[in-house]
Amino acid sequence: MSRTLDGYQRVDPGRPGVSSSWPVNRPHKRRDESRRPNAEPRTVCEEPSENATGSASQCISETLAEMSHELLTPLTSMLIYARLLADNPSTRLSDEEVGFATAIQRAGSDLLHRINGILDTAWLEAFSARREADLSAELARLMLSGPDLEASLAATALHLRQALGLPWASLQLGEVAADERHEAFSLHDERTPATLLVPTGLPRATSRRLRARVLPWLEVLVRTAQERERSAQALKTARARIIEIADRTRHQIDRNLHDGAQQRLISIGLELVDIEAIAPLTLKPRLARTATALADAMTELRDISRGLRPPALTKHGIRPALAALACRCPITVDLDLSYRRLPAQIELAVYYIACEALANAARHAHASKVHVELTSGSTIRLVIGDDGVGGADPSRGSGLIGLVHRVEALDGTLEIVSPAGGGTELLAEFPACCD
């Protein structure tokens, strides 16, 4: 008796010469990764940083692989036995028994194909879950790592276009209406709405995936990015306000010192001169020492006042203020300065950066020379470099950190390059329109 089943042929190695037609157990163990569309082989060890969803999908695939081995192997053995009973004349089965064995074999074959179909569907679901997890992770990275919200939206839209095979896609802030060429998906946010625009007439599978899998996650990401942008803006505003209050306080202290303590010390000095003129010779040395100490106190007070807010900066601008600062510095300072006046807040920031840089070069870097360059054009750029020992670390002290905060409050950037043994360079840039 010769029968075939669904085109599968195999010679049983345990029974030479006996032809057995039975469904072959397909290789579900660990699911051959080559069956993935456009994917290279991947293992658990190769991806230690998989997110939770991707790990779950891989766990599902491994569980199904174990199930395939546990279910398909005994089922296949049963089908082989039923086939042998039906096909082998030596078993001396009646026609009814042969029909019964054949029915068992057919029912088992149908069950085997159903199991294979279920496993294939489950594997596709697991692969789809992994694919969606990878897409979600990349969207989160793009949305939350950009320099600003608009740049993040543009990068996210570009990746969506590539990942979903869209001919065009755009993420825009605000409510944008759909038209005959563009379909609009609103990403609701009470304070700052956003809209995803895609071409009309997308394939049904792409549209379904976009609505069911991508849009909910994208809405959460856009909302998170907007909250992050608002928090950053609030922090920047608060920092600028604190710096403004601190500058006003310094200015008030400077005025109080000039109008109060300095004037009193000047009056005391004049009285000492009058007393010294009529004092006996035995008191003149003591009066002279007192006058010298008073002069030193006046000098220290002027230095304190000048450090708070130098009069030259307020009256004449940054060039005279930096020139006076260079004259007081104990090391050589080369100046290359812009000629035009800058906004007051930027001039003050430049002055404080120069004060900190020159003080660090003289006290800590053991430098012999400092170069200060200030230029203005589309941006205002300050470069201060020394030939000291380098190794400056902003995290070790409050001076440089305070400067970074002051610069950022003005929409500027401050970069510090200080390799060990290679000197230190400070690069500050401000937008020219800042005031």
Residue recorded with tokens 């008030």 = 252
* pLDDT score recorded for residue 3: 37
- Tell me the pairing of strands 369-376 and 332-336: parallel
d(C-alpha 294, C-alpha 266), whole Å: 9
Cα three-residue angle 153-155-156, rounded to 5 degrees: 65
pLDDT of residue 22: 40
Quote the pLDDT of residue 377. Answer: 84
Which amino acid would we find at residue 76? T
Tell me the chain's radius of gyration from C-alpha atoms.
40
Query: What does the DSSP assignment read for 386-404?
Result: E-S-----GGG-HHHHHHH
Which H helix or E strand runs over 425?
A: strand 425-431
8 A C-beta contact, residue 41 and residue 33: yes
DSSP 177: -
Q: Is 7 left (phi over 0), alpha (psi -120 to 50) or beta?
A: left
**How would DSSP label each residue in 312-344?**
HHHHH-HHHHHHHHHHHSSSEEEEE--SS---H
Q: What string of pLDDT tens digits covers the 435 residues of the chain? A: 333 333 333 333 333 333 344 444 444 444 444 444 444 444 333 333 444 444 555 565 556 556 655 666 666 666 666 666 666 666 666 777 667 777 777 777 777 777 777 766 666 666 666 666 677 777 777 777 766 777 888 888 888 888 777 888 888 878 888 888 888 888 766 667 888 888 888 888 788 878 877 888 788 888 888 778 777 778 777 777 777 777 777 667 767 676 677 777 878 888 888 888 888 888 888 888 888 888 877 776 776 665 566 777 878 889 988 998 898 888 999 999 976 788 888 998 898 899 889 988 988 888 999 999 999 888 999 999 999 998 887 776 657 788 888 888 888 999 999 998 889 999 999 998 655
Q: Estimate to the nearest angstrom the gap between the alpha carbon of 257 and the chain centroid.
A: 47
SS3 37: coil
Cβ atoms of 14 and 84 closer than 8 Å: no
Q: What is the DSSP letter of 175?
A: -
CB 365 within 8 A of CB 420: no
Residue type, 20: S
pTM here? 0.47
CA distances from 112 to 25, 31, 73 (A): 8, 17, 10
- DSSP line for 242-261: HHHHHHHHHHHHHHHIIIII
Structure tokens at 173: 């802030």
Distance CA 350, CA 303 (A): 18
Who contacts 432 (Cβ-Cβ below 8 Å, separation ≥6)? 376, 377, 378, 379, 380
Residue 405, phi-psi category: left (phi > 0), alpha (psi -120 to 50), beta (remainder): alpha
β-bridge partners, 427: 383, 415
Q: Which amino acid is at 392?
A: A
